[in-house]
A and B are shown apart, each in its own frame.
Chain A
Amino acid sequence: MEIMYVMIALSLLMAIGFLMAFVWSIKSGQQEDLITPGMRILTEEIDYPKLNKPL
């Protein structure tokens, strides 16, 4: 049963890893805007040649 100690430690470490990833994703603002990126795909940049001088 000694193997259990190793496995518990590993499983906790993995779970903590995911928890850290979650906290990081929140703090870096990845969950702040869940709408725009999806829309952005549909209007992907097509590089038109610049015709006129800007304003």
Chain B
Amino acid sequence: MSELLELAERIAGQAAKGEQIEAYASRGEETDVRAYEGEVESLTSAASAGVGVRVIVDGRQGFAYAGSLEEEVIRETLAEARDNAGFATPDEHVGLPGPDGRAPATMDLWDDELVAMPTATKVELALELERRVRSGDRRVRQVASADYGDIAGESAVATSTGISASSRRTICSLSVSAVAGTGSDSHTGVGFSAGRGPADLDSDRAATDATERAVRLLGATKARSGRCVVVFDARVTSTLLAVLSSAFSGEAVTKGRSIFADRIGQEVAVAGVTLVDDPTDRRAFGAASHDAEGLACRRNVLVDGGVLAGFVFDTTSARRSGTASTASAVRGGYSSTPSAGCRALALTPGALDATEILAAVDEGLFVQSITGVHSGVNPVSGDFSVGAEGLLIRGGVLAEPVREVTIASTLPRMFLSVLHIGSDQEWLPGLAAGQTLAIDAMTLSGS
């Protein structure tokens, strides 16, 4: 058993009669390197650890956390959590899960090669990435940032109700931002590559992506306002799915904060849309053997052939809606309590790849990146309005570059207006896979 799990069990083991305790402990080491003009701009190396404790007495929950694993601090934290529990409103649905008999998927999310990699090699990766972009296309005049980053982390959760689970993972990434053009015709392009270990990193692809994305926007202008087909780049689709994921949260549903509440069994999308959250797919960056409450992760179908099929639940939200947890508890680290959420969303791929989708669409707007997602996409009201840049689609191929426009619709209408889902699925850092996605009849606001 890992040291961290032992520690979590020791805390959970202190539960008094009538009291439930959950201890979540985590620790990690990370390195970040930023290169600039052939030099190391910054090198950060860090180790952090902490613990979060939930105490539940008579349906009242209290929580406390600390950024330390020292015995004395942990004692204080448990005492605080106990004290805090006295101030919550009693709620019969609040409680910790017990083991539900599901075996966790066997998953190796740890790369020893990364852990053993010397800092000098990490520095060289960042320098090399910057060099590739600088020595490439002459139209790239600046590299705003070129970064290498990695994290090796471990977490453990134990409860007085018999849960005991731990896992560890590594992630490393390269990312670069290229600037092409000058003055008001400046454009940025971001490229990245990420994986569990150094063998997954593709510096050339990150550099090429950043360069191509910046350069192809040179000369961009506002497009004419009107309705059109919008084709989202795979990365943008991943971002959109991540934002939309909160509408599938069982907690949002039971509290009346989801456009999908009360719509199970109804057609919410065109027949080609099947959306699944499957953290047991090890290719996903959000892959996990256990959820944040220590239950074995499983595959959950959210939309099946256009019909709303299910939501994701943690223990409390499941009890509120009279169902069982789908092992979808997530948490933002030791300093926050669990809530229901997705980890590995993906649309079932369609028949066409990106090029074929452009050809099929013939006329429209290809969107390379979007801005204002958090201010412009509301999963409660369904309103959707974001800033966009990209290229016009003419005669089935990419044409003139476009900037400073918005695209708008509503989420329910967009689901019912899906034209094509790309066959080009790729797992990207974050909650969701990316793939090209074409949506009909969006409003473009430009000149």
| A, B co-complexed | no
Chain A positions within 8 Å of B, measured between CB atoms, are: none
Chain B positions within 8 Å of A, measured between CB atoms, are: none
